[in-house]
Amino acid sequence: MKILIFGSSGLVGKSLERVLSNSTKVDELICSTRNDTDLTDLISTKEKISHIKPDLIIIAAAKVGGIFANDTYRTDFILENLKINMNIFEGCINFPNIKIINLGSSCIYPLNAQDPISEKSFMTGTLEPTNSPYAMAKLSAIEIGRSLNKEYGNKVINLMPTNLYGPNDNFSLENSHVIPGLIHRMYLAKNAGDKEFKIWGSGKPLREFLFVDDLSNFIESILDFKDLKYDLYNVGSGEEVSIIELAKMIKKVLSYEGNINTDLSMPDGNPRKFLDSGRVNETGWKAKVKLEEGIKITYEWFLSNLNNQIRT
């Protein structure tokens, strides 16, 4: 197979490159970044797709961030993510044989969806307000993909992973997701000798986390699209942890000796978000990397890339 990855410089893209480079199913792997293709520009995107003519496109490109970034840069999040997905799908219209794996997010599900959240909760209620623009863009991508499939024939699989983390994550102090953000801030607190470390919100919300290579291994297993009953799959680890317990786990990995307290002036977000991964488990896949092990791997990558990779 000839596979084109859009968004290959990010957390998921780098993981996919590691995993798919060693796959016997892949004959040619093209890893595209914003340096060679502006996905917010339709002409540039169409030219890339028509030039490569891949068998499969994996959409790993997205503007992503944590609660603070999603709630602060709302316009940027919805516009950029809409443009990326619209342009890629439109670029495939003249190539009905191109298959597409579209990567979304568990934030597409309603705020009050019953846990564990099944794929049947899709489009059944109001979104969580702090990241609704991003979620709306991801919801639109699913609908565009379904329209493309029905009208032009392209096979599209939508994967909704839970909170991802791992090497090559964004460790920004303000705009990152929870695990890389906590690692970076706690690393600074440790080096400064701070006796107190504050986590945002109450620490009570429950979250599910998935090591990014587990997602990539699932993608590798479905490259041929065989025996897939659905076009929408949740991809979760099957384990959840409170934010305060997560912070304690990171404290242990970093050997930080200060006290962990809460900052109630910051938002909690959704109180619980736990995916029903029954569909994906039926394919024979299950997550393998335990949370503490994954945090250790992520922290080692963070330390080895302090000088040239960490975005502040």
Positions marked catalytic: 134
| Pairwise CA distance, residues 147 & 289, whole Å | 36
The DSSP bridge partners found for residue 241 are 207
Helix then strand count (H, E) for the chain reads 10, 12
The answer to whether 5 touches 55, Cβ cutoff 8 Å, is no
CA distances from 75 to 79, 81, 109, 283 (A): 6, 10, 20, 37
Question: Whose structure tokens read 């565009």?
Answer: 144
| Pairwise CA distance, residues 55 & 213, whole Å | 22
The answer to whether 127 touches 92, Cβ cutoff 8 Å, is no
HSE-CB of 156 using CA atoms within 13 angstroms = 26
| Cis peptide bond N-terminal to 267, omega within 30 | no
CA dihedral of 54, 80, 110, 179, whole degrees rounded to 10: 90
Tell whether the torsion through CA atoms of 180, 183, 188 and 194 is positive or negative: positive
- The residue type of 18 is R
Phi–psi pair at 307, nearest 5 degrees:
-80, -35
